Amino acid sequence: VPRLRSQDQLQASPSKMWLPINLLFSLTVTGIHFVAITDVVHAIIEGPSCPKSSDGPCPQQVNELHGISETKKETVRKKEDDSSVKSVRASYVKSAITNDEDFKIRVQLDEADDLLEKGFHMEARQTYVSILRKHPSPRAAVGVASALQKQAYKEHNHELLYRSITVYKQLLTLPGMPVKLMVTAGIKLADLHASTGQALEALKTLHILADKYPEEVEIVRELGITYMSFDRYQDAKRIFEKILKDHPHDGHAMAELGMIYGLVDLNPAKAIPLLKAGLDSDQKGTQDARFYAALCSCLRKQGRTDEARKVKQRGTGLGLFPSLYQYSSHNVESLTGRPWWTPEQTGYQEHLELLEKHWRAIRDEGLTELHSHTSLFTVSQETHLVKTGLGNWKQLVLYDKDRRPDVCARVPKTCQIIERIRPARTCTAGQVKFSVMYPGTEVWAHSGPSNYRLRAHLGLVVDKGAKLQVVNETRTWTEGKIFVFDDSFQHAVWHYGKSLRLILIVDFWHPEMSESMKGSLH
């Protein structure tokens, strides 16, 4: 065993997290005392410690937050004395993620889990570390990683986020991990990789687990969902089709596959039965706004508007949609919702005026790139919304969660202006892009993905035959002028004019979104 270094030295070398957790578990196998190793774990995760007289996290503080008393612990012990462990184990809700040793300390583990669920991330982390000082607990180790992850999202702390990734990676190599706990940790690791833009790492993690545990449908399903999040729809389709071949009554797989058939393959007739069956199964994961919105879209394309309206009503009644005309998939409660916003209502007047001031420079860069023989304009990502065989709709994305250097090199003045507009530049829920639409294009009525952004349109090249309808109000664009709307409300676009329409689309955070609310979206 390598000589353990001092706490200060270890804190200066975060990469050494690889050592203590492996040692923690391997040493217990040989019966070697491991208290020193768990102290190293505590030092590396840098959780604030209680007074030295205290054993683990401040017991009084934890009990106050959690409401667990020593009396309750004693009651559990007595119950175990009165009944067989096997009987208690069978009825334990978290039995599948709890090995035999963890079952003996389930009260402490449940306390820590409850703290984490209530949002007391630091206190939960302290409690897990206290457990690890005394027990080689897989659940506590996963708890440490999960607490780091949640705290990182809350505080927008990239260091904590990457430390959480490091811990999860090590957990997937440890012995004694129940399969369900391993699957849970693997899904969380893949989600972390995905949220930090590491698509290949996310897919690699899920592939390893899916190959190792092919009977665990949850991990295979998550692999399909991750493929979808990276627009690899054909890979996702193969996975969901395989799941349904092996598990023909898997409602979640039905809904996911139906969404692919409807929105990617543009085959609403094939999608509708699967989406309906998935929603009607009421299985875990099926009551998702995405599936209700997809079913609405497919029904409308089949001319079944009454059925589509009933699906919207059902989704709204379940609280999945903010309102009947606002059927976005990702929503934050209590945000002001209105179809159209004045500049004064947004609070972004200064930013909107800046865009209008430089509209000619923006227009010139957009047109130059559009007509270039090496143009980076591509067919719109929302082609599934265009009525089949009609029109042409292209876009040039400058920002999508972050600045795209390759595109900004082609339209530098436009990107320089956007860099001065923080609520747009940092809006990870939206995009900044040029949008060009040609005569003959008609876009189905639809809702945007979320209610926590506002969308601004700057008119650059305008044809009066191009129009935008949001709910029941129709407007057209004016060169050099901006209007703002909430694209989570139902809207449609059509172009029956004679020449192209070019606009700059700029998404802003909804003005009522606080920094902590933005962080919670991760």
Asked if the model's pLDDT at residue 336 lies above 50, the reply is yes
The string of pLDDT tens digits covering residues 212-231 is: 998 899 999 999 999 998 88
Is the same domain home to 160 and 35?
Answer: yes
Is the same domain home to 346 and 386?
Answer: yes
Is the same domain home to 238 and 387?
Answer: no
* Boundary (domain end) residue, out of 259, 293, 321: 321
The string of pLDDT tens digits covering residues 184-209 is: 999 999 988 988 878 899 999 999 99
Residue 335 lies in a domain: no
Q: Are 128 and 143 in contact (CB under 8 A)?
A: yes
* Boundary (domain end) residue, out of 321, 349, 380: 321
Asked if the model's pLDDT at residue 366 lies above 80, the reply is yes
| The two structure tokens encoding residue 119 | 């949002």
Is the same domain home to 72 and 37?
Answer: yes
Residue 100 lies in a domain: yes
Angle between helices 179-195 and 199-212 (to 10 degrees): 160
Residue 34 lies in a domain: yes
Asked if the model's pLDDT at residue 389 lies above 70, the reply is no
Residue 225 lies in a domain: no
Give residue 504's domain range.
Answer: 340-521
pLDDT tier for residue 66 given thresholds of 50, 70 and 90: very low
- The CATH number for 364's domain is 2.60.120.330
Is the same domain home to 27 and 128?
Answer: yes
Residue 238 lies in a domain: yes
Residue 224 lies in a domain: no
The terminus-to-terminus CA distance of the chain in angstroms comes to 39
Query: pTM, whole model, 2 decimals?
Result: 0.73
Q: What is the tally of structural domains in the chain?
A: 3
| The two structure tokens encoding residue 221 | 């399903």
Q: Which residue shows structure tokens 């986020």?
A: 161
Is the same domain home to 345 and 295?
Answer: no
CA atoms within 13 A on the CB side of 482: 27
Is the same domain home to 389 and 261?
Answer: no
Residue 315 lies in a domain: yes
pLDDT of residue 61: 40
Nearest to 513 by CA among 437, 454, 446, 432: 454
The string of pLDDT tens digits covering residues 284-334 is: 999 999 999 999 999 988 999 999 999 999 999 999 998 889 989 899 989
| Cα–Cα distance for residue pair 141/104, rounded to 1 Å | 16
Average pLDDT over residues 44-69: 42
Question: Where are the strands (E) in 250-348, listed by range?
Answer: 340-341
Buried b (16+ CB within 10 A) or exposed e, 315-324: bbeeebbbee
Q: Are 486 and 329 in contact (CB under 8 A)?
A: no
Is the same domain home to 251 and 349?
Answer: no
The string of pLDDT tens digits covering residues 409-425 is: 999 999 999 999 999 99
| Cα–Cα distance for residue pair 471/487, rounded to 1 Å | 10
Residue 163 lies in a domain: yes
Is the same domain home to 246 and 102?
Answer: no
- The CATH number for 260's domain is 1.25.40.10
